[in-house]
Amino acid sequence: MASQRCLRRLASLSCKESVSVSSVNLRWRPALLPQSRRVHPHHLTRRSMTSTSLGQSIAKAIESTGPISLIHYMKQCLTGKDGGYYTSSPDPFGKSGDFVTSPEISQMFGELIGVWIIYEWMSQNQCNGKKVVLIELGPGRGTLMDDALRVMRKFEPFAKSVSSVKLVEASGPLRDLQCAKLCGEDIKPRWQGTNWTENTKHFGAPVTWYDDVRQISLQHDEAPFFIAHEFFDALPINAFENTPDGWRELLVDVKKNKLILPNSEEPKEPEFCFTLAPKLSAPARALNSLSPRYEALSRVPNAMVEISPDSHGYIINFSRSIHNAGSGAALVIDYGPANTVPMNSLRGIQKHKRVSPFVQPGKVDLSADVDFGALVETALRPDFNVEVHGPAEQSQFLFGLGIKERYESLAQMAEGDSETLAILKSGFERLTERGGLGMGRIYKALAIVPESGGRQIAGFQREAPVEEEPIAEEQPQI
């Protein structure tokens, strides 16, 4: 079994590469103030104008059939074929985009995830000769996978066992960026009848793209390793409020009396709003039976809950695949409360600022807190032979994997280069700090591994119980 000392060696050994000078000083995505969510059922008095063509088609649908579910609104806005945010933005990341993520802040992040996977593979007896399949969900620019593969290349026995890389990506433009990053600058993925595919520049491992994780079929001699960084927060949610008549779903309606010029760059006010479903909808009726946590909240007047059915589906897929293979792992890193059910967390993000989720549909990133408690509950369904570790704060996870050693090694290599040293330092601090603009506390890591009877999992060695984060008002601003 791989030891803690070995893990630290992995972290410092992986330091032979140069430091990538990426967009370090950018602001990051979550930690936004809650918006007011007052609900005013109303009837439209005239046809509304919205700022995007997607907004216009959503408004038209609402006007003809009534308010729509939040899930439906978010799906259209994020991954709808007709002008969804991810499906149509050429590149939402970085300074010129809307937000920045950890892999774009520092190469150390993806490298340490590579180290984590190698460590797990070693701890699982090199997965008994099975081929390793690396599966990433929502790979963004492909930076995390590129940094992880660069580390993996250095550990030949592991690199030799990797048979394929599989990426689940809804966006065509991002798929092209991922291919350029992983396969070579001018290389575009090739259509192979059912999927896009190409060979990576890293030990020739082939990469294939999928729209949905359910399209991936694993063979009996394959061990799957899933990575989902800032993927779950981008999945659509349903929201409910506990009224005197019981749970009521929050639906999306067109905002009354709004006149916004089509294609206007900056609509002054939201174009849509929440409205309470007038009667019990099917999802509201089912809520209490989904989890004792919701049942308990049904006794709290005015309680609100958010649920993400798609997240549930993805976690079932991870647990079932790991259970079937008897090996592999899933690593989820995202933001959200460790112990409570998220409420009122839907946010819009544009140009590194928080905006209403109801302005410029399709031009604004939408995200919601991840319900780690729900992920754990789902992963541990009795028919799966898996165990769950975490959620652990990102700072604990990264320190446990040796980020300090990695940082020191890189800093040593960059000695005399003050610009690179400053970038390294700010990246290290941004990823690990638990206060201010740091991501060390708000982001959390969760791992699913085969049942092991109490083996220690790298990055999840409990030193102190995870404290609940402060209320949203105290979170740093983007």
Q: Which residue ranges make up the site for ligand SAH (CB under 6 A)?
A: 78-79, 86, 101, 103-104, 138-140, 144, 168-171, 174, 229-231, 234
CA distance 302 to 437: 32
Nearest approach, Cβ of residue 392 and ligand SAH (Å): 18
Cβ nearer to ligand SAH, comparing 181 with 248: 181
CB of 166 to ligand SAH, least distance (A): 12
Nearest C-alpha neighbor of 455 from the set 366, 367, 387, 362? 387
Q: What is the spatial distance between Cα 315 and Cα 50, in angstroms, rounded to a whole number?
A: 36
Give helix then strand counts, H and E, for the chain. Answer: 16, 17
Cβ within 8 Å of residue 375, ≥6 positions away: 232, 311, 315, 332, 446
Of residues 55 and 103, the one with the C-beta less far from ligand SAH:
103
- Shortest reach from residue 68's CB to ligand SAH, in Å: 18
Residue 174 or 205: the one with the smaller Cβ distance to ligand SAH is 174
Question: Nearest 5°: CA angle at 306, between 303 and 307?
Answer: 135
Q: How far is the CB of 335 from ligand SAH (least distance, A)?
A: 11
Distance of closest approach, residue 85 Cβ to ligand SAH, in angstroms: 8
Nearer to ligand SAH, 139 or 336 (CB): 139
Query: Counting beta carbons within 10 angstroms of the beta carbon of residue 42, is it exposed (0 to 12), middle (13 to 18) or buried (19 or more)?
Result: middle
Q: Is 87 within 8 Å of 172 (Cβ atoms)? A: yes
Q: What does the DSSP assignment read for 33-91?
A: PPPP--------SS--B-SSHHHHHHHHHHHHH--EEHHHHHHHHHH-TTT-HHHH-S-
Task: Compute the least distance from the CB of residue 175 to ligand SAH, in Å.
Answer: 9
**Residue at shortest CB range from ligand SAH:** 138
User: Cβ closer to ligand SAH: 50 or 171?
Assistant: 171
The C-alpha atoms of residue 467 and residue 392 are separated, in whole angstroms, by 10
Q: What angle do CA 233, 457, 461 make, to 5 degrees?
A: 90
Least distance in Å: CB of 201 to ligand SAH? 19
The residue (of 139 and 459) whose beta carbon lies closer to ligand SAH is: 139
DSSP bridge partners of 249: 240
We find the least distance from the C-beta atom of residue 234 to ligand SAH, in angstroms, to be: 4
SS3 of 5-27: HHHHHHHHHCCCCCCCCCCCCCC
Nearest CB to ligand SAH, comparing residues 371 and 387 = 371
Nearer CB in complex with ligand SAH: 140/337: 140
* Least spacing, CB of residue 40 vs ligand SAH, in Å: 30
Are 106 and 428 in contact by the 8 Å Cβ rule? The answer is yes
Shortest Cβ distance from residue 88 to ligand SAH (Å)?
11
Q: Which amino acid is at 79?
A: T
Per-residue H/E/C for 213-264 = HHHCCCCCCEEEEEEEECCHHHCCCEEEEEECCEEEEEEEEECCCCECCCCC
Radius of gyration of the chain from Cα atoms? 22
- For ligand SAH, the closer CB: 273 or 355: 355
